[in-house]
Chain A
Amino acid sequence: MNVKKLTVMALMLSLALVIFVAESFIPPLVPIPGVKLGLANIITLIAVYILGRKEAFVILTLRIIIASVFSGGMAGFLYSMAGGLVCFAVTALASLRLGENRMWVVSVLGAVGHNAGQLTVACIVIGSAYVLWYAPFLIISAIVTGAFTGVAAQVTTNRLRKIKRT
């Protein structure tokens, strides 16, 4: 691994952490557990397309581990890890078929995967299937927030490519 790539990865990791901390100051908008913007996923998406899947995976797992140290709580870590891993699996698979012009689609699919992973953990942790009531709410929220973060990632990636060329 060359130094330049390592530096870019470190930069992206710190960016993702800053975004995560900044987002944690936004109070929950809807009283449904699991609904959030997921702005830090913008970085994961950009990393998948600019650096590659392997690098993006490293950035994501490190972000989740360090972010859970910031926010504290083992329970939170379980949810983020489950959500993050399912989200990444979906994102990685979708990015094989969908190019940079369809990053927002990849983002929506990943967001739905994220919520599916969290819901599964919630069912196991809470020990009852009542949480599944939230599934339709979470799918709608994932489509909206996923599209938002996806468009943000897509625009940023386009700009980055232009900078790289000049």
Chain B
Amino acid sequence: MAELKKNLAWIGAFALIAAVCAIVIACRANTAPHGKTAKILSDGETVRVVDLENVKTPYEFTVTSKDGGENTVRVENGRIAVVSADCPDKICVKRGFISGAQPPIVCLPNKLTVVVTGDSGIDAVTGGDAQ
């Protein structure tokens, strides 16, 4: 019985931690602003900022990292995705489109991050004062 109690106590503790994480995820999903622009970072530096609003014709461009890794990014109205990559696992491609409330797309082998931010292209400059 003591065995069972000890195991249950640990299960309870882990369940609690998991629940806290789930709440954090849910909160971020709700508070994250609807994306207007997307930032593309390669090797930690912003290489491109794209406007996600009023994209009439979807377009694609390729980001090449310092080591020569290539990712093709596709921009559609209100959303962005990595559609092809030369990395082995293709986790970034499997993520599909993101439009704001989701965690950024990350390609670890090519050191690429695609993150949707709340501010629009113009507001991004004066964003601090707008609050």
Measured CB to CB, the residues of A under 8 A from B are: 28, 31-33, 73, 75-76, 79, 101-102, 105, 108, 122, 125-128, 130-131, 133-134, 136-137, 139-140, 143, 147
Contact = CB atoms under 8 A, between A and B. Distances in A.
Interface in B100-131: 103-104, 106, 108-109, 111, 113, 115
- Give the 6 A-B CB pairs with smallest separation, nearest first: A127-B44, A136-B21, A133-B103, A31-B94, A31-B95, A136-B24
A28 B91 contact: yes
B58 interface: no
Contacts of A147: 14
Given A73-B88, A134-B103, A143-B18, A33 B108 contact: yes
A120 to B, nearest CB: 13
Contacts of B22: 136, 140
B53 interface: no
Contacts of A125: 108, 111
B43 A127 contact: yes
Contact of B109 (A31, A73, A128): A73
Contacts of A127: 41, 43-45, 111
A33 B110 CA distance: 12
Contacts of A32: 91, 103
A73 B67 CA distance: 12
Main SS class of interface, A: helix
Interface residues of B, number: 31
A122 B94 CA distance: 19
Q: Among the interface residues A32, A79, A122, A133, which one has the most CB atoms of the partner chain B within 10 A?
A: A133
A130 B104 contact: yes
B108 A133 contact: no
Nearest to A121: B108
Contact of A131 (B7, B14, B91, B106): B106
A137 B29 CA distance: 13
Given A73-B88, A134-B103, A137-B103, A126 B18 contact: no
Contacts of B18: 139-140, 143
B89 A28 contact: yes
A153 to B, nearest CB: 15
B94 A28 contact: yes
Nearest to A105: B10
A126 B106 contact: yes
A128 B44 contact: yes
A31 B3 contact: no
Contacts of B3: 101
A105 B6 CA distance: 10
Contacts of A131: 104, 106, 113
